[in-house]
Amino acid sequence: MMSLTDFSEFKTFSDIQGRFDIALDLLLNKENFSRGVWPYNLYQPEVSCQYEKHGKRCSQQHQKGYIVACKDGAVVLIGHCCAHKHLSLDDESLRASFKMLDASERQASRRRKVEALLEQRQAFIEQGKAVHMRHRELQARVYEVESALPRQIWHKLVERWKSNSLEVIWEYQTTKVGVDENGRKVTERAWYPSSYGKLQGLGIWLQLGAQEYAGQISDFRKQLELIPVKGHLTSAEIDHAETTFNSVAAIKGIERELESQFKLLEDFLNLSNLVLTVQLVSNQAIRAETVVAVHQLTGQTLAGKPDKFVAEIDLDLKRKHDATGVRIQQ
C-alpha cells in the first residue's frame, strides 16, 4: 500500500506514469467512473483530459487534474475543470477519502497479520511454557551452585565477571641469601606472579534474579491467553494482540539467552575451572569450604581433609618455583 507521501508530489506526466499504468486510450464518463485516486498539479500543461464530452474526448491540455479509477480498474487522467463539473471531484474530498481508504487498508492489513499469527497461538503458548520451564530449571541450577559456594566466593565471582578480570593470579616469593663485598650476609626477597588460568563460564546467570526474564515470560503468557479465540477481533483486540505478538521476538531472545547461560554454567562447572574458585580468596577457612563445594558440585569424592587439599595447592606452587612464600595477588 502506498502512503500519502509516496505520490503527493507529481510534477510531470512521467512522474505519474512512473507510478500508474495510465490507460491513455480510454474514455472516462459518469458510467465507468469509480473513484478519484489522487490529485496532481504539474509544472506544464502536458496532460490531455480523457473525459468524454458530447461523444468525444475532451482532450483539453492541463496542468491540474486527477488520477481516477474506472470501474474495471483501469486508471485514467482528467482535468480539474471536467472533474469538478461532471464528477464533483475536488482536492479536499479526494484527500479525505484517500486518507480513510488508507487508514482502513492499514487496519485491514494489521488484522490479516494478527489473524495469521493467531493461527500459531497454540505454538506460542507452548513456547511461552517451555521458556518458563527452562528459566525455572536455570534458576534451580544457579541456586544449587550459589548455595554450595561460600558467600565470599560467590561475591568474588560476581565482581570478577562484572569487571571482566578473569585471570586468577597468585604470587610466590623467592629468597636469595648471599654475602656482599664486605662479607655481610644479605637476604634478597622478591615476589613474582603466577597464573592459575582464567575463569570460564561466568555470565548473567550470576545475577539471574536481577534480570526481568520471569516477569516478561509470565506477562507474555498471560497476554496470549487474553487474546479472545473468535472469528472477528475488535480494533482494541487487534491492538492488544499486535502488542502481544510483538513480544514474540523478545521471548525468543530470552530463550536464546537462557540456553547460552546453561552453556556458560556448564563450562563453569568443569572441574578444571571450578577448582580455580579455591584460589579467589586467601582466607584458609573459606578456601577449605570452597574445596568441599567444588567436590560437591562436580560429584567428586574428596580424599582427605579439605584444608590439606588447600595446603597442597600452595605447596605445589612453592615447589614449582622453589619459593619461600605464596600470596594472592592484590
CA distances from residue 10 to 5, 40, 81 in whole angstroms, order as listed: 11, 6, 18
Nearer to Zn ion by Cβ, of 44 and 270: the residue is: 44
CA dihedral 178, 183, 184, 186 (to 10 degrees): -20
Identify whether the C-beta of residue 60 lies closer than 8 Å to the C-beta of residue 38. Answer: no
Least separation in angstroms between residue 49's CB and Zn ion is: 3
Burial (CB count <10 Å: 0-12, 13-18, 19+), residue 330: exposed
> Could you give phi then psi for residue 67, rounded to 5 degrees?
-90, 125
Least separation in angstroms between residue 101's CB and Zn ion is: 25
Placement of cell 505519474 in the chain: 16
Contacts of 9 (CB under 8 A, 6+ apart): 15
Nearer to Zn ion by Cβ, of 68 and 286: the residue is: 68
Q: How do beta strands 185-198 and 167-179 pair?
A: antiparallel
Residues contributing to the site for Zn ion (CB under 5 A): 49, 51, 58, 60, 79, 82
Q: What's the sign of the alpha-carbon dihedral 146, 151, 157, 161?
A: positive
Q: How far is CA 60 from the centre of its chain?
A: 57
Least separation in angstroms between residue 22's CB and Zn ion is: 15
Least separation in angstroms between residue 27's CB and Zn ion is: 11
Contacts of 70 (CB under 8 A, 6+ apart): 23, 26, 28, 32, 33, 34, 76
Nearer to Zn ion by Cβ, of 54 and 319: the residue is: 54
| Three cell numbers written together for 117 | 499469527
Least separation in angstroms between residue 118's CB and Zn ion is: 49
Angle of CA points 21, 14, 79, to nearest 5°: 80
Nearer to Zn ion by Cβ, of 61 and 282: the residue is: 61
Nearer to Zn ion by Cβ, of 62 and 160: the residue is: 62
Least separation in angstroms between residue 53's CB and Zn ion is: 7
Nearer to Zn ion by Cβ, of 51 and 161: the residue is: 51
| Three cell numbers written together for 44 | 506544464
Least separation in angstroms between residue 36's CB and Zn ion is: 14
Least separation in angstroms between residue 64's CB and Zn ion is: 11
Nearer to Zn ion by Cβ, of 79 and 150: the residue is: 79
Nearer to Zn ion by Cβ, of 51 and 170: the residue is: 51
Give the whole-angstrom CA distance, residue 190 versus residue 194: 13
DSSP 220-267: HHHHHHHS--SSS--HHHHHHHHHHHHTHHHHHHHHHHHHHHHHHHHH
Least separation in angstroms between residue 39's CB and Zn ion is: 15
Nearer to Zn ion by Cβ, of 36 and 79: the residue is: 79
